[in-house]
Chains A and B, each alone.
Chain A
């Protein structure tokens, strides 16, 4: 939840900084001084947006999964590993046990 909020704030801050830069550069063009430098607060806003975005993305990441073979094998069962589905016999008692009873 916090991660999503931070990401949203960071996106808003980046877009705001970008729009402020555009406005500032248009202002400089209008008053005839096109090579002025960016004001300090826009730069600060962009860097703060980066930091918030990094924290938000890290908090928003899905839960980490184990990567070792033994951790993966601990979740499996013998039935799964020994199922041999290519050779499975489909002629078994299941046909009689689970079939719909015949209508009398």
Chain B
């Protein structure tokens, strides 16, 4: 593993918000072993290594990174957040919450510290307090997609699906080209029982994912596109059995049986590669109901 490829991989992790802590730790160890001057990128890599080592329990490495960062950047709010994360790993929650409270008193607009506080509240079970604080954060910083997703996640774990759908709709407004959030919306709608809305949104996901393909009929669906086709099959099959009333007043499409047939064909196409039989093909064939 060369230095430049490790740096490249870490840059990709930073850009895409990937939380691959074990891989980050290995890549960053390669970089630190070569002990070269890395320039501006070096501090970002050090922060990444700090978070990865706290995540996997190597607190010795984390302490060394934090010491270097706090020596270089004194009184930095970003380093204060990292110090708080280090405290979260070992200290009790009261100490950590007090520390975050002090930081927020000094600077009430520090969104990163606020998010850490909400994360601690959620982790220790104080969910209503977490939701209250998170709603206040989102009132202040509306464009925070991460916050809306976290709110939707909290509501989903409490089975409050309509509130989760509301939070997700804000995330959809803020990130309209992202099919992943639309898929989450569709699956939450399906779990909430609003099948026409789920079907419509699954179809939107398929449209978003296969929009640029020249002939989508030739390639088997992959990734979240396949997941969306399975969702279409699920919701259209149930809608054909008995038409559910939609709490969101979504209209059921007219050619429901055609959509269901298409979904069946697409799902089977994904599990019919020429050559060796794909794993799980028998299960899928039984599930789609083809004799």
Contact = CB atoms under 8 A, between A and B. Distances in A.
A98 B119 CA distance: 22
B184 interface: yes
B184 A82 contact: yes
B57 A98 contact: yes
Contacts of B178: 73, 81
Interface in B45-60: 51, 54-59
Pick from A81, A83, A98 the residue with the most CB of B within 10 Å: A81
B240 interface: no
A94 interface: yes
A74 B56 CA distance: 29
A30 interface: no
B57 A96 contact: yes
Interface residues of A, number: 31
Nearest to B213: A70
Interface in A34-48: none
B57 A99 contact: yes
B122 A87 contact: yes
A90 B22 contact: no
A78 B222 CA distance: 13
Interface of chain B, main secondary structure? helix
Contact of A90 (B16, B18, B54): B54
Interface residues of B, number: 45
B57 A94 contact: yes
A99 B56 contact: yes
A61 B110 CA distance: 44
B212 interface: yes
A63 interface: no
Given A69-B177, A70-B209, A87-B118, A76 B51 contact: no
Interface of B: 16-19, 21-22, 51, 54-59, 85, 88-89, 111-112, 115-116, 118-119, 122-123, 146-147, 149-150, 153, 177-181, 183-184, 208-213, 222-224
Q: Top 7 A-B pairs ranked by shortest CB distance?
A: A99-B57, A98-B56, A95-B57, A81-B180, A68-B212, A86-B115, A87-B119
Given A83-B17, A98-B58, 10 more contacts: A70-B210, A73-B177, A73-B209, A85-B19, A86-B115, A87-B116, A90-B54, A90-B55, A94-B55, A97-B56
